[in-house]
Chain A
Amino acid sequence: MLPGIIILVYLAIVAVVGAVAFGKRKKASGDDFFLASRSIGEVVFLLSLFGTNMTAFAILGSSGMAYHRGIGVFGLMASSSALIIPLTLLIIGTRLWALGKRFGHVTQVDYFRDRWDTSHVGTIIFIVTVAMLVPYIIIALIGGGNVIEALSTYTDHAGHTQHFLSYELGAAAVVASVTIHIFLGGMRGAAWVNTFQTILFLVFGSIAFVLIGRSLGHGHGMVEGYRSVLEGLAKNPKSAALLSRQTIPPAEFLSYMFIPLSAIMFPHMAMMCLSARRMSAFKKTVVAYPICIMMIWLPSVFLGVVAASQFKGLTAGESNDVLLLLLNKHTTEFVAALLGAGIMSCVMAADSHQILAIVTMFTRDIFAHYGGHDRFGPRAQEWTGRIFVLIISAVAYAIALYLKNSATIFELAIRFAFSGFAALAPVMVAALFWKRSTKWGALAATLWSAAGVLGSWWLFTYSGPAFAHFMTTHKGPPAMAIFPSLGHALVRTPGNVTLFGYLPVVPMVLGSALLMWAVSLVTAPPSQATLDRYFPAATPSPTPSPEPAR
């Protein structure tokens, strides 16, 4: 019962932070609710931006995947992100900030519409983006519900396993807390809560790592504890592969370098870029970002491998709880609850920003764009946003209940969101750096990205029954040709499909870039007036000048 109470107290604190942010609002306007009046300072900017990437997928998914595939998971997801994400923040994020400040953009669609003189293409990008973001929000709720249920598990007098808080109640508590602090605090509330949550996880995560190691060491210290566990894994031929990357084919490893391109295309990440008070906030962020990634992912992946020696035979879904299982086994109930709250903070950190992003997009890209702002004014726009918060939270919760047992956190994330957003990156790059790019090129690339997500999902589902049969009869590597007549061009693996060994994200990104280029070349560019605004004649890049360009 104690862990459940601690988690509830934590969720209440998060809601209070949102209420405090509400008191700090500067004026009743959409700009303050959606972007905190573009006033986020350097420290909050770094921690909040980083927190938006620390999701249920990052913490629970990576440790669960490391349990099955070993230490290579850190290279797959963490060190690739440590290079690519700060790079995109430096090259794309800074320019988005400058253009947003100059022209008043609030969302990516806002920018695309203005950059390419378009309305409907912007709406299509909006639909595709929202469709890919919603599952991401649901993943966080599923993660939150699972964490709370796992932490509040106890055995009753009859020896039966009970939950003080069920999955359904846990997910409800998470969605209530997130809804309250966004409803009241908007972007400022989300950023403050994110900062609080990121600090909490960094502190509690470090404590967890030391305590688990010391427990494993049985009085001989943390290093000795971990060393004995890893040596035990190395001696067993079945588990030795977890200490190297031999379970991950080089083509798959290379494919994961494309995934972090998704970060800057997530609407909540782009909106965070727009909320900075000064561009200088990006300087410290891009330098500190790789270190923050290491501090979060290194223990998560490492402990996932350690868990392989502690808990045998977990399925893909069960392995997402290995961090919690380690906490329960190697720390006291009170400590496990505190550290569980730290994990909860990671699960929720991105969720609040994602919900706020969807709300902002509905309000700005649909309600305001199609006349709501002019008809009802800025105050109505702000309250429309708050009403959307309630609606979207309720819908997301209902879906999270329905999808509770349908897929693992990691699989959902990678399949529905990351690859699709990564494939949209060429659209943003073209908008910022290629004067000749057109809305039709953007449309083609967007539709290609959506088709890629749907196509890979269909292939995965279509090949499911045959793959299940394949696994019961085949003793070799878990890789089945989906269409035998094509040889091994399209292959089904336990967690994905591959094209000539590469994950779908690779052809999706390359195809998107190719379509953006080819279709733009054969279609008419935006008006000269628009090009003059975004590409002043004196500068070769989209440098916004201090003076109005028109």
Chain B
Amino acid sequence: MRRWIAAALVLVMLILHQDLWLWTDKSLVLGFLPAGLAYHAAYTVAAAVVMAILVWLIWPTEMEDVQPEPGTPGTEAREGSDH
């Protein structure tokens, strides 16, 4: 359920990015910020909020305490073979 909510949130954000209703709007917000620019500035703030929610919803807790495999030095090259 948490994953579905997360996916829905991302989908909404993807749709909100395509703000066709502001495409030709040249009005200024706060006296100096074009409306389209103000909208996308607010969008980035909303993205931060959504990220905080996503961390809460789908953070991979089970991976946090992962340990290196015994005998797996971090600096050695791995062997590979093409069959």
Residues of A within 8 A of B (CB): 29-31, 35, 38, 71-72, 74-75, 78-80, 82-83, 86-87, 90-91, 94-95, 97-98, 101-106, 110, 113-114, 117-122, 223, 226-227, 230-231, 234, 240, 243-246, 250, 253-254, 257, 278-280, 283, 286-291, 293-294, 298, 301-302, 305, 364, 368-369, 373-374, 378, 381, 439, 524, 539, 541, 543-546, 548-549
In Å, the complex CA distance between A374 and B18 comes to 53
Knowing A119-B81, A257-B17, A298-B41, the reply to whether A290 touches B48 (Cβ < 8 A) is yes
A95 to B37, CA, bound (A): 34
CB neighbors of A among B1-51 (8 A):
10, 13-14, 17-20, 22-26, 28, 30-37, 40-41, 43-45, 47-48, 50-51
How far is A278 from B75 in the complex, measured between Cα atoms in Å? Answer: 19
Flag if A250 contacts B18 (CB, 8 Å).
yes
Across the interface, do A250 and B52 meet the contact criterion of CB distance under 8 Å?
Answer: no
Which of A231, A280, A294, A374 counts the most chain B CB atoms within 10 A?
Answer: A294
Contact A290 B51 (CB under 8 A): yes
- Which A residues lie within 8 Å of B10 (CB)? 83, 87
Min CB gap B83→A, angstroms: 7
Q: Is the CB of B26 within 8 A of A240?
A: yes
Q: Which residues B38-79 have CB closer than 8 A to chain A?
A: 40-41, 43-45, 47-48, 50-52, 54-55, 58-60, 62-70, 72-79
Which residues of chain B are within 8 angstroms of A234 by Cβ–Cβ distance?
Answer: 26
16 contacts between A and B (CB under 8 A): A31-B75, A38-B74, A74-B40, A75-B43, A79-B43, A103-B78, A114-B78, A118-B81, A122-B80, A245-B36, A250-B23, A298-B41, A302-B33, A364-B77, A368-B77, A369-B78
> Which residue of B37, B52, B54 contacts A298 across the interface (Cβ within 8 Å)?
B37
Q: Are B60 and A104 in contact (CB under 8 A)?
A: no
Say whether A544 contacts B64, CB under 8 Å.
no
Chain A at the B interface: SS class: helix
> Which A residue sits closest to B54, measured CB to CB?
A90
Q: Is A291 in contact with B48, judged by CB distance below 8 angstroms?
A: yes
Contact size range, B: 35 or more
Contacts of B45 in A (CB 8 A): 290-291, 294
Most buried by A among B52, B58, B69, B70: B69
A549, closest chain B residue (CB): B69
In the complex, are the beta carbons of B51 and A101 less than 8 A apart?
A: no
Whether A82 lies near B44 (C-beta < 8 A) is yes
- Tell me, rounded to whole Å, the shortest Cβ–Cβ distance linking B2 to chain A: 13
* Contact of A253 with B18 at beta-carbon distance under 8 Å, contacts A244-B25, A287-B48 already known: yes
Determine whether the beta carbon of B67 is less than 8 Å from that of A71. no
Cβ contacts under 8 Å, A381 to chain B? 75
A309 to chain B, nearest CB (A): 13
State the CA gap A298–B47 with chains docked (Å): 15
Distance from A85 Cβ to chain B, minimum over Cβ atoms (Å) = 10
By a CB distance below 8 angstroms, the chain B residues around A86 are 47, 51
Give complex CA distance A94, B20 in Å: 34
Q: For residue B24, which residues in chain A have a CB less than 8 angstroms away from its CB?
A: 244-246
Q: How far is the CB of B1 from chain A (nearest CB, A)?
A: 15
Q: How far is the CB of B55 from chain A (nearest CB, A)?
A: 5
Are A75 and B40 CB-contacts (below 8 A) given A90-B58, A102-B68, A280-B64? yes
With A117-B83, A226-B32 in contact, is A302–B37 under 8 Å at CB?
A: yes
Nearest Cβ on chain A to B72's Cβ, whole angstroms:
5
Q: How far is the CA of A4 from the CA of B51 in the complex (A)?
A: 41
Q: Is the CB of A244 within 8 A of B23?
A: yes
